[in-house]
Structure 1
Amino acid sequence: MRSMATHHHRSTLHRWLLVTALVAGLSATPAFVTPAQAAGGGFVDNLDSFNTSRWAKANGYSNGSMFNTGWRADHVWHSGGVMGLNLNTTPCPSGCSGKPYASGEYRTTDVYSYGRYEVRMKAASGGAGTVSSFFTYTGPSDGKPWDEIDIEILGKNTWQMQTNYFTNGVGGHESVINLGFDAAAGYHNYAFEWWNGGTINWFVDGRLVKQENGSRGKLPTNPGRIMMNLWPGTGVDSWLGKFTYSGQRTATYDWVKYTKY
């Protein structure tokens, strides 16, 4: 996890909570074997089925205190040419730390470096308190500093997209983009270009909507995993709004594409 963007600044406390929660949670996830170098070339995945050579489903753990859900592999599904992530009240295994909700997270087994990252997705509907995402991440679970580049659709206003990035665990670079459409009502193309020359450019349906050039803080440099998840927040109502469960919510993804630069 946006016209050029209207900047959105969370409080210093919230940024601290975000860093603490994510580092604590993601560093506790089962470690993947990290390639010596980022994966080469590029790919297009139509998400018609579970490609185990490229993707893994999170299962039996949670990403930290601000995530009010645990991950279940069976909450990631493929049907009708799309991949879906369900959020509901199905009980989660003991590793989920007693979280009241279960949801899905999908991540690549390899890490990827500079290039163009694209997704066609439809965000979850149902109101405040949730995040539907497409992002890159590496961190303690990979034995690396926490670097991340985000596209996030917040359930409290699915007519907007939030962008952000983290470098060595330092975030606070949020921007909010008015989309001009409801991201939960249909599929749209979202992308970011991560350039070795020192910029990150975000696109919506091929239109440049945001650029970061490092003027607000050093840009990421470490290759990351491509990730998608759907989650309800807790303790971050000032950011996401209050989550109230009123039935299953689902985010769906039509395809993912990576082009190496």
Structure 2
Amino acid sequence: MTGKILIRPFVLAAIGAAMLAAAPASAQSLGPSFVEKFDRLDTSFWYVSDGWNNGPHQNCTWSKGQVKVEGGRLTLGLERQQVGDRAYVCGEIQTRQRYGYGTYEIRMKAGTGTGLNSAFFSYIGPTDKQPHDEIDFEVLGKNTGEVQLNQYISAKGGNEKLVPVAGGADKGFNDYAFIWERNRLRYFVNGRLVHEVTDPAKIPSHPQKIFASLWGSDTLKDWMGTFAYSGPVTMQVERIAFTALGEGCRFQGSVLCAQD
């Protein structure tokens, strides 16, 4: 089956219904479960960032020209092109809807190059008139042998953890997932649990949009490494999925297929 599968179950398992009933309204899922396999780019579902940037730390301008879908893959690019005061353009997509407790998954190949960030994350913030909540997977180009995990709660971060990615995150496709619940947040790399958060003060509670992006920085050298452009760079994505809390395995390779 190709393309995006929207899942709108009529009946939830009893345990799932109980979990949802216990969750605060602010963090219950708003968007339905989906599996995006990128046979095309559905712009009614995905918003393509274009013509702006996230601030002075980012050395590229988001450009729809750096977002392409072909052969069942999404490609996000970064290349030299002057737009405004930025010398580079880069690619990002984000869901138009917000999502809450559940399982977030991506199968991706990171970009190669110091000073780059290949990211899969959920986010909500002041632009949506909400507190800044965020859950991150970020592959920093200075060391693609690992992925950084992090989460922000009301704009407070400082929860970073580095996890090895066998063979290199930019050498092949790897699966990254997090399962977000009211009292627990679990991160997985290639189906293996690599980090668990149980402190409620470190777990976001506001519904968020889902993002995939590739960008660079000239200024965040300590974190991302010194930016050194040697030609166009790409991040590739084969699949992005969200499964609402209480629902089970929806596709082969989902981290949920191995959960109790």
Regarding TM over 0.5, the answer is: yes
Deviation for aligned residue 1:53 = 2.2
The answer as to 2:200 corresponding to 1:209 is: no
The answer as to 2:153 corresponding to 1:162 is: no
1:241-260 matched pairs, under 5 angstroms: 241-260=225-244
Q: Which amino acid aligns with 2:54?
A: N
Percent identity of paired positions between Structure 1 and Structure 2:
38
Q: Could you say which residue in structure 2 is the equivalent of 1:107? A: 94
Q: Distance in 1 between matches of 2:180 and 2:116?
A: 26
CA contact (8 A) 1:87 1:103 kept: yes
Instruction: Look up the SS of the partner of 2:65 in the other structure.
Output: helix
Q: Could you say which residue in structure 2 is the equivalent of 1:42? A: 33
Q: Distance in 2 between matches of 1:40 and 1:129?
A: 34
TM-score (norm 1): 0.81
Instruction: Look up the SS of the partner of 1:141 in the other structure.
Output: helix
Deviation for aligned residue 1:66 = 1.2
Deviation for aligned residue 1:89 = 0.9
> Residue 188 and residue 162 in structure 1: after superposition, are their counterparts in 2 closer, same or farther (change >3 A)?
same
The answer as to 2:163 corresponding to 1:177 is: yes
1:23-42 matched pairs, under 5 angstroms: 38-42=29-33
Deviation for aligned residue 1:199 = 1.4
1:215-234 matched pairs, under 5 angstroms: 217-234=201-218
TM-score (norm 2): 0.81
Unaligned runs of 5+ in 1: 1-36
Q: Distance in 2 between matches of 1:163 and 1:56?
A: 24
Q: 2:64 aligns with which of 61, 70, 73?
A: 73
Instruction: Look up the SS of the partner of 2:205 in the other structure.
Output: coil
Q: Which amino acid aligns with 1:204?
A: V
Q: Distance in 2 between matches of 1:135 and 1:83?
A: 16
CA contact (8 A) 1:38 1:110 kept: no
The CA deviation string for residues 108-151 of structure 1, in whole angstroms up to 9 with x for no partner, is: 000000000000000001x2111001000000111100000000
Runs of 4+ in 1 over 4 A off after TM superposition: none
The CA deviation string for residues 27-55 of structure 1, in whole angstroms up to 9 with x for no partner, is: xxxxxxxxxx7424300010121112210
Q: Distance in 1 between matches of 2:234 and 2:116?
A: 11
Deviation for aligned residue 1:180 = 2.0
CA contact (8 A) 2:31 2:98 kept: no
Name the count of aligned residue pairs. Answer: 220
Q: Could you say which residue in structure 2 is the equivalent of 1:51? A: 42
Q: Could you say which residue in structure 1 is the equivalent of 2:104? A: 117
Q: Which amino acid aligns with 2:234?
A: T
Q: Distance in 2 between matches of 1:77 and 1:228?
A: 13
CA contact (8 A) 1:65 1:234 kept: no
Instruction: Look up the SS of the partner of 1:106 in the other structure.
Output: strand
Q: Which has the larger radius of gyration?
A: 2
Q: Which amino acid aligns with 2:88?
A: Y
Q: Which amino acid aligns with 2:135?
A: I
